[in-house]
Amino acid sequence: MRYLTDLCYLLAGAAISPVVLYRILKHKRYRIGWAHRFGKITRRNPDKKCIWLHAVSVGEVNAAQTIVNDLRNRFDDPRSESRTSFEIVISSTTDTGFARANALFGKDFEVFYFPLDLSCIISKAFAQITPTICLLMELEVWPNFVWTAHKLNVPVVVVNGRISDKSFSQYKKIKPLAKRFFRKVTLVLAQTDEYARRFIELGCPADRVIVTGSLKYDTAQITDKVEGADALAAKFSLGKERLWVAGGTGNDEEKILLDVYKQLKQQDEFSDLRLAIVPRKPERFDEVAVLIKQTGLELIRYSGVKAEDRRQETEDRKQRTEGGERNSSFSNQQSNLERRVTSDESQVILGDTMGDLRKFYSLATIIFVGRSLVPMGGSDMMEAAALGKCTIFGPHAFNFKQTVDALLADEGAIMVENGDDLLQTVKKCLRKPDFAARIAKNGQEVIRKNQGATEKSIEQIAKFLNV
């Protein structure tokens, strides 16, 4: 079976290689990490036992934060002689996931690209990592990975487990094969009863599936203050203006948002409204910048503001070195003033940097969570709700069904059907701040009452660590 799986992988790889090559050349993706993908992985502390955590992309990496922090605090305390010391290693599949994992965990843990699921490569990776346990965030169950772990008696635990409608439909098409490797999964910690049922239907023994809730509720920080947000507001002269933030947007969605924004700006009562768009994927930043200009709207890119700040810092250091500290201070004030003058309420802000979405969200009057007006599955709306913001999303948020159901049930967010519905909803939220505030408060409460999955998950994981 493993050789048949390898053959299928090789045939599929040959079929999609032109697409991969195109993305390497056009979008500059998949250019790094090939040594990792072919199983060349090193550990910082090979003398320790190892916990291997895998998170596919940015969403899964973010969801893993509380798990990683709890594992470190409980099981990797070098000051304690009473418990086993573990090394945590973290893998990701996508470039954005790897970058996010590196930013969050790279200082303390080894971060690498997930190896290709060919039997020889996976065997090599296991030989180098020698994990005590493997934690797979949400779903990422690969046949050769699971079979190799099972052969080596390494427990495989799916954490924050979920199977979307689309994935479930695809797995059912290969149900006999899916059952062969799903039954080898040691434990599934599912987000909901529905996801638990799906795992069981695909072959996981019912006594190995436990509902723990979603980790993303735990990682969503309930606060009204985000570090760095005030500095961002100053850079764009955000004072009394109302800010509409569209975060995690996808293809064909920005045009709808820009059309709605233009209609709003034609009315005097919304003349103070600013729009910030933060696309989900970095390779689309330039595309969205062109689109904004084509609509006739003014544009300011956050990457350009950051680049100017770095240039100014370099110039300041140079002048201080030359003894021009007073001139440097004056120059810095002038530069900041110029940026404030050029950034006004007529400009659309393009958040074309990574890791700054929460800052934009924290400054928002209302938030639209993207990839949901178009059938792309949605983006995570928990952060927006946790920040106490009036949160809106479209009808295609099927990748976040549990969160959508919870928020809508308690009136903690608003779902719109299309661009016209979005226009009317934004108008209502801006005209009736008490209504928007009630939605925001309800959303924050939904996040608060659904927290606790981390503790439940760690309790189950600890049983495999012999501590």
Indicate which CATH number applies to the domain containing 146.
3.40.50.11720
293 is a domain residue: yes
- The arithmetic mean of pLDDT across residues 32-60, rounded, is 91
- Give yes or no: residues 60 and 96 share one domain: yes
- 8 Å CB contact between 158 and 185: yes
In this structure, the answer to whether residues 116 and 247 fall within a common structural domain is: no
- Residue 241 has a CB neighbour count (10 Å cut-off) of 16
Per the domain annotation, does 219 fall within a domain?
no
pLDDT in tens, 431-440: 999 999 999 9
Tokens of 416: 């719109």
Residues 188 and 102 in one domain: yes
- The 10s digit of each residue's pLDDT in 417-431 is 999 999 999 999 999
pLDDT by residue (tens digit) across 227-249? 999 999 998 888 888 999 999 99
Residue 19 lies in a domain: no
Flag whether 434 is in a domain.
yes
Based on the fold, state whether residues 244 and 292 are members of the same structural domain: yes
Are 234 and 208 within one domain?
Answer: no
Q: Give the whole-angstrom CA distance, residue 383 versus residue 370.
A: 13
For the chain, how many structural domains are there in total? Answer: 2
pLDDT band at residue 336 under the 50/70/90 scheme:
very low
Q: What is the DSSP letter of 159?
A: E
* Structure-token pair, residue 202: 């695909």
**Confidence class of residue 331 from pLDDT cuts 50, 70 and 90?**
very low
Q: Which residues, other chains included, contact 382 with Cβ-Cβ below 8 Å and sequence gap of 6+?
A: 216, 217, 219, 220, 403, 447
pLDDT for the residue numbered 312: 79
205 shares a domain with 236? no
199 & 240 share domain: no
Report if residue 10 sits inside a domain.
Answer: no
What is the reported pLDDT for 418?
Answer: 97
Confidence of residue 20 (pLDDT cuts 50, 70, 90): low
Please check whether residues 340 and 256 belong to one and the same domain: yes
Spatial distance between the Cα atoms of 222 and 362, rounded to a whole number of angstroms = 11
Compute the average pLDDT of residues 135-141: 90
CA dihedral sign of residues 460, 463, 465, 467? positive
Measured between alpha carbons, how far is 384 from 381 in angstroms, rounded to an integer?
5
Please give the mean pLDDT across all residues of the chain. 88
357 and 382 share one domain: yes
Distance CA 170, CA 175 (A): 9
Strands 242-249 and 209-211: unpaired
Whole-angstrom distance, CA of residue 442 vs CA of residue 386: 10
| Residue 237 in domain | yes
88-96 average pLDDT score: 93
- Per-residue tokens: 436: 């928007």
- Are residues 435 and 307 part of one domain? yes
Q: Please, which pLDDT band fits residue 79 given cuts at 50, 70 and 90? A: low
Instruction: Write out the two tokens for 25.
Output: 């050349």
Whether the model pTM is above 0.85: no
Question: Is 153 within the bounds of a domain?
Answer: yes
- Residue 30: pLDDT over 80: no
Question: Residue 238: which residues within 8 A CB-CB, separation 6 or more?
Answer: 232, 274, 363
What's 266's domain CATH number?
A: 3.40.50.2000
Query: Is the model's pLDDT at 84 over the cut of 70?
Result: no
Residue 27 belongs to a domain: no
Amino acid 54: pLDDT: 97
Q: Are residues 181 and 194 in the same domain?
A: yes
Looking at residue 136, what is its pLDDT?
Answer: 97
Judge if 196 and 115 occupy the same domain: yes
3-state secondary structure of 321: helix
Domain ranges, residue 252:
229-449
Q: What is the pLDDT of residues 280-318, one digit of tens each?
A: 998 899 999 999 999 999 999 999 998 887 887 777 777
